[in-house]
Amino acid sequence: MRFPSPVSLEWMANFLGAQLIGDKQGMATGINEIHKVEEGDLVFVDHPKYYDACIRSRASFIIINKVVDVPPGKALLVVEQPFEAYLRIVRHFRPFEPAVKPISDSAVIGKRTTVYPGAFIGHHVVIGEDCIIHPNVTILDHCLIGDRVIIQAGTVIGSDAFYYNTKKDREVWYRKMESCGRVVIEDDVEIGAGCTIDRGVSHDTRIGKGSKMDNLIHIGHDTVVGRNCLFAGQVGIAGAVEIGNGVTLWGQVGVSKTLTIEDNVTVFAQSGVGGTLERGKIYFGSPAEEASVKKRELVWIKRIPELWKKVVG
C-alpha cells in the first residue's frame, strides 16, 4: 500500500510508540509484506527466523520486536508487537468505510460502460470505458478495472486475502492480516461467472492485458498474471504467484503459493503445480512434470503387473 504522501519516520515512531534506530531522517512511502517489498517501504517482522530476510530485503524500514544491527540507510522501529503496529498503520491509512448504496459516490465509471442491476461497486473503484459488469458482480474498494473488460455474473473482485499471522502462544492462533492492497485488471480482460480474485495483502493482485478466464476460478492475493493468459474452469491459484505471458491453465489446475510459471507454459487439466515451470514447456500431472515425461511414466506404471508376474514367476 502506498501512503498518500511520504511519511517521516519520526512521525511513525511517535504514532506507534516505537524506538527509532538508524536513519532517523527517512521517509516511508508505503507498507508492504516481505514477498512484495520495494525501496521506501515499511515491513514488519516478529520472528527471529525472518529477521535477516527482512533486514536484507528491499524494504528501507523494518518494524521489529528486537534491537539488531541495521545496515546504513535503513532504520528500525522497535515495538513489542510488530503485527499490532502493522494493523494500526493499515487502519489509519486505509480505514474501513461501510457501504451505504450499491454504487459508491466515490467510484469512477468510464464512458459507455454498462453496469447491470444488482452489481455492487465499492469506494474509490475506477472502471474504464466500454466495460460490461454483469448482475451480482461485486467490485470492492480501491480496485482498478481497465477498458473493455467483461465481468460475468456473480464474480467477486477484491475480497480479502486469505492471509493470517500465526502464533501458537495466544488464544486465537490465526490473526487476520488486514488487506490494504488492490486488484488491478488491465484492458481487454474477460472474467467468467462465479470467479473470486483476492486483493493483495499490501500490494496489488494484477490480471494482465488480454487475459481470459472461464467460470469458477480463484486467484489468490498478490498474484500477478501476465498478458494474454487463458485459464479454464475451476483453476485455483494461491497467493503471491508470478505467471508470465501467454500461459494456458486447463480445467482444475491447482497452483501452490509463491512460485513462478514462466511465459508460454501450458498445463494440462487436473495438474498440481508445486514448483517453478520453465518457459514454453507443456506440463501434466501432480506434481506437474513435462507432459512427455509424465506420459511415459504412466505407460510404465500400467506395465507393472505384467513385469511383476515375470519377476515372481
Catalytic choice (142, 203, 218, 221): 221
Let me know the angle formed at the C-alpha of 220 by 209 and 235, rounded to the nearest 5 degrees: 75
CA distances from 7 to 10, 28, 103 (A): 9, 5, 32
161-195 in b/e form (b: 16+ CB < 10 A) is: bebebeeeeeeeeeeebbbbbbbbbbbbbebbbbb
Q: State whether residue 112 is helix, strand or coil.
A: coil
Contact between residue 283 and residue 296 where contact means Cβ atoms under 8 Å apart: no
Q: Is 221 a catalytic residue?
A: yes
- 289-290 and 282-284 beta bridge pairing: antiparallel
Q: How far apart are CA 148 and CA 308, in angstroms?
A: 59
Cell representation of residue 25: 531522517
Contact between residue 185 and residue 191 where contact means Cβ atoms under 8 Å apart: yes
Q: How far apart are CA 278 and CA 211, in angstroms?
A: 20
User: Which residues pair with residue 199 across a beta bridge?
Assistant: none
- 132-133 and 114-115 beta bridge pairing: parallel
Residue ranges of the alpha helices (H) in the chain?
9-16, 48-55, 82-93, 291-302, 304-312
Contact between residue 222 and residue 238 where contact means Cβ atoms under 8 Å apart: no
Residues annotated as part of the active site: 221
